[in-house]
Chains A and B, each alone.
Chain A
Amino acid sequence: MVRLLTIVLVAAMTVLAGCAAKVDYGDATARETVNTDFGSTDLQMIAAKMVDDMLVFPPIVQMTSQRRPVVFVDRIKNKTTEHIDTESITDTIQSKLLNSGKFRFVDMTVVDRVKEQLDYQADSGLVDPTQAVLMGKQIGAEFMLYGNMSSIVKRDSSTKDVYYKFTLKLMNLQTGILEWSGEKEIRKTRNNTFLGL
């Protein structure tokens, strides 16, 4: 009887331990295929493709050989049916381009706060005028980076197919000329299978 109770107790403890939630860290760069929604792997693939394409495009190579042009990142228009944080994609692209040493960026998302700080330094009377940052010395962007993200979704009773297309463009603000454009296509398919077979 005691032996039976011990076995039942051990079995119960094993089951309960198995039910306990487990939190662990994973590889942020590993392939993620939880579902067909836009995910981290898609973001990383898009950023890598855009940056690689741009950095080896001959006119860009020539343009960046002697200087680091200043770029500002406009938004990526999300034309898909999903909520996608497109700023996160452009942030990754911007970081990679900046770290390549080929481009410099102006960040238009913090202009208000920069202006506030410059006003404080110039007008508050609390900052030593000889140490204050001078107004009107910022460098204007020469190029604008912008683009689109679109998708086509098709499904039937057992299959869902999602096609994403990301387009990025680099425009010369002075001339209005498109200096470079890159595209990345992604296809994801989910098949509902019986018993995972």
Chain B
Amino acid sequence: MKPIHVLMAVLMAAVLAGCSASNMASRDKGEDGQYETVLKSNNSLLYSRLQIAQLNERQVGDLMQVQATLENAWKFELDFQYKFKWFDANGFELAPEGQAWRQLILPGRNQANVQAVAPNPTAARYEIWVRE
């Protein structure tokens, strides 16, 4: 196999791996009690195009409700999936198989709000995962 073919195969594998990888955003309470946004990415392409413009939390009764404003910074339409993961104060994920991936198609240079409600009152923090 010619070196150029090896290089193309490696590049293709990297691109395909990038397509299936996820991005994650979470909000944690810092030491000062204020929420801090934490972003993690395994998909640099999606990470550069999709941004979280704003995260809002509120208590509805004793359930946490979250709204994330997702922004497509790219000029073309983005078709991706997202899901919320919820954790209790001890870091245990709540209903780990109960949260399905939801699809969102976001036109270029546009924003959309996505919302979710914690599965039960023990939820203390959350993460938003995004993948293509």
Does any Cβ of A come within 8 Å of B102's Cβ? yes
Collect the chain A residues with CB atoms within 8 Å of residue B100's CB. 29, 41, 44-45, 48
How many cross-chain pairs have Cβ atoms below 8 Å apart between A and B?
A: 51
A61 at the interface (CB under 8 A from B): yes
Give residues 65-93 of B contacting A (CB, 8 Å): 65, 81, 83
Q: Which residues of A contact B65 (CB under 8 A)?
A: 56
User: Contact check: which of A41, A52, A64, A101 meets B117 at CB < 8 Å?
Assistant: A52
Please report whether the interface of chain A is mostly helix, strand, loop or mixed according to DSSP: helix
Q: In chain B, what residue has the closest Cβ to A28?
A: B97
B119 A31 Cβ-Cβ under 8 A: no
A56 and B121 form a contact (CB under 8 A) = no
A30 at the interface (CB under 8 A from B): yes
Bound together, the chains give a CA A52 to CA B99 distance in angstroms of 12
Min CB gap A183→B, angstroms: 16
**Cβ–Cβ contact A100 & B61, under 8 A:** no
- For B84-117 the 0/1 string (1 means CB < 8 A from A) is 0000000000010111111100000000000111
Residues of B within 8 A of A52 (CB): 115-117
B60 touches A31 (CB 8 A): no
Which residue of B has the minimal Cβ distance to A53? B117
Nearest opposing residue in chain B for A51, CB measure: B117
Query: Given A99-B95, A100-B120 in contact, is the A56-B101 Cβ separation under 8 Å?
Result: no
Residues A100 and B101 in contact, CB atoms below 8 Å apart: no
A169 is an interface residue with CB less than 8 A from chain B: no
Chain B residues with CB below 8 A from A64, complex form: 61
Q: A109 near B: Cβ within 8 Å? A: no
B117 near A31 with CB under 8 A, answer no
A65 within 8 A of B: yes
Instruction: Determine the residue in chain B with the shortest Cβ distance to A27.
Output: B101
Let me know if A56 and B60 touch, CB within 8 A.
yes
A100/B97 in contact, CB under 8 A:
no
A55 closest partner in B (C-beta) = B117
Expressed in whole angstroms, the Cα–Cα distance for A156 and B4 within the complex equals 46
Q: 8 A-B pairs, CB-CB below 8 angstroms?
A: A29-B97, A29-B100, A41-B101, A52-B117, A56-B60, A96-B98, A99-B120, A100-B120
Chain A residues close to B by CB (< 8 Å): 27-31, 41, 44-45, 48, 51-52, 55-56, 61-62, 64-65, 96, 99-101
Residues of B within 8 A of A (CB): 60-63, 65, 81, 83, 95, 97-103, 115-117, 119-121
